[in-house]
Amino acid sequence: MKITVIGTGYVGLPSGAGFAELGHDVICVDNDLAKVALLRSGQVTLYEAGLEELMMRNVASGRLRFSSSMADSVPQADVVIIAVGTPPHPITKEADMKYIRAAAIELADHLSGYTVVAIKSTVPVGTGDEIEALIHLKNPEAQFDMVSLPEFLREGYAVYDFFHPDRLVIGTDSEVARNTIAKLYSSFGPETKRLFVNRRSSEAIKYASNAFLAVKIHYINEMANFCEKTGADVTEVAKGMGMDERIGNRFLNPGPGFGGSCFPKDTIALVTMAQKNGVKMSLIEATVEGNTKRKQQVAKRILEAPGSGDVHKIAVLGLAFKNGTDDCRESPSLEIINHLLDAGISIVAYDPKAMKVAKQIYGDRIEFASDMYAALKDADVLAILTEWDEFRDLDLHKAAQLMNKLNIVDCRNILNPSLARANGFSYSSIGRA
Ligand code: UGA
């Protein structure tokens, strides 16, 4: 099949490369000319495990191409997938639809023959109807069906998730469109569940899923606070809870709060959408509020690291919002660093992948170290804020020799507490003594 993917971000690029690997003929379109030029020259514009190899292989086979022109890519497409960003609107806090609308208006003129137009971006319930009307208005002759095709990829695992989805949710009432999308994924076996629903349900499933996971994280973070006060160990509590299949063991890792380009914006957008519809979503409202406070609480904990006395310099390991990505959007680490900077602390930071992105944000307001040990030199506290595997292997003996004062605040519970203490550190983590 011929596929055009509009938007080459964290969703569009892995999906486009994935569809090419499945044997489809894919053109990824972006209106950022510089980005398209980089992609055409073989450079991957974001970090995602396995993406570079996947892209190179499919570019070489001729199944994956990049373009800035809808005129060159939309007319021949069987399926046009919209995967542009829906960042929070600066005033309303709802998903900002300007990129979706702009893409729809531009593609409308180029639709030729029957085409399925599928929205992969996370969009408010009812967006499919709005965009369908917009395309009709712009091009009354166009023969197309609008489909909601929400994406459940996790950053850092996007390539893996593309090929191993838990489920495919396909929102449309059109039989032809259902069959077209089913064909798109026909190489996935029966183990991949396909759920055909109406378009609005499909749009709602995406928000409902992300908000539920965000609530789960907020829940375990509050449970961690409770464990700290009562002498329980949240890791053991999460393990015990997770053994109940009704609860499940995933997304029960406590930490510095959830971040990224999805959970923070989607929870706020859902609360706002619900309010507009006269519905109160108190659980999600509490999650949004709790997650905001979480970062202040964690910053305070770092500043008050036991035994630290005066804190002048803090080594931060981890800038990305989670491991496996260079994405720093809504990263708890950056928000915590901002609180620490406000308190007059000098920060030296290291992240295996997100240094370039963070340098653009901070300039020379913080120091960037060349590796994790360089970050520790003369630091009064080590704060671990992202759960990169290489931090798990930190040589604590070496760390103790480098630091000025021996304090670790492990906000991802990745170090061995007894080993840290045996090396002379005052060690604190989340939700356990
Ligand atoms: C999330 C969803 O997991 C994907 O299914 C969805 O497709 C995506 O949003 C999206 O809407 O595009 P992502 O934002 O990449 O994916 O990251 P997650 O792995 O879900 O993590 C989100 C945040 O929660 C991170 O800050 C992470 O550190 C935090 N988290 C996650 C925890 O603090 N504890 C956990 O147990 C799990």
Question: Ligand 1 pocket test: which of 210, 216, 294 has the largest number of ligand atoms within 8 Å of its C-beta?
Answer: 210
Q: What is the pLDDT of residue 92?
A: 82
Question: In sequence order, which residues have a C-beta less than 8 Å from that of residue 31 and are 6 or more positions away?
Answer: 68
178 φ, ψ to 5°? -60, -45
88 φ, ψ to 5°? -65, 140
Q: What is the pLDDT of residue 90?
A: 83
Using an 8 Å Cβ cutoff, are 318 and 348 in contact? no
List C-alpha distances in Å: 137 to 70, 71, 110, 324: 18, 19, 14, 42
Q: What is the pLDDT of residue 306?
A: 66
- What's the CA gap between 386 and 102, in Å, rounded? 35
What is the greatest pairwise CA distance in the chain? 74
Helix (H) or strand (E) run with residue 197 in it: strand 193-197
* DSSP conformation letters of 239-259: HHHHTSTTT-STT----S---
- What's the CA gap between 337 and 344, in Å, rounded? 11
Q: What is the pLDDT of residue 307?
A: 67
Task: Give per-residue pLDDT as tens, 68-102.
Answer: 999 999 999 999 999 999 998 888 878 899 999 99
- Ligand 1 pocket (Cβ < 6 Å) reads 122, 151-155, 210, 213, 217, 251-253, 255, 258-260, 262-263, 321-322
Q: What is the pTM of this model?
A: 0.95
- Intervals of the chain under pLDDT 70: 306-308
Q: Using the mean position of ligand 1's atoms as its centre, give its distance from the Cα of residue 263 in Å.
A: 7
Neighbours of 310 (CB within 10 A): 6
CA atoms within 13 A on the CB side of 358: 31
Beta partners for residue 75, in sequence order: none
Q: What is the pLDDT of residue 89?
A: 86
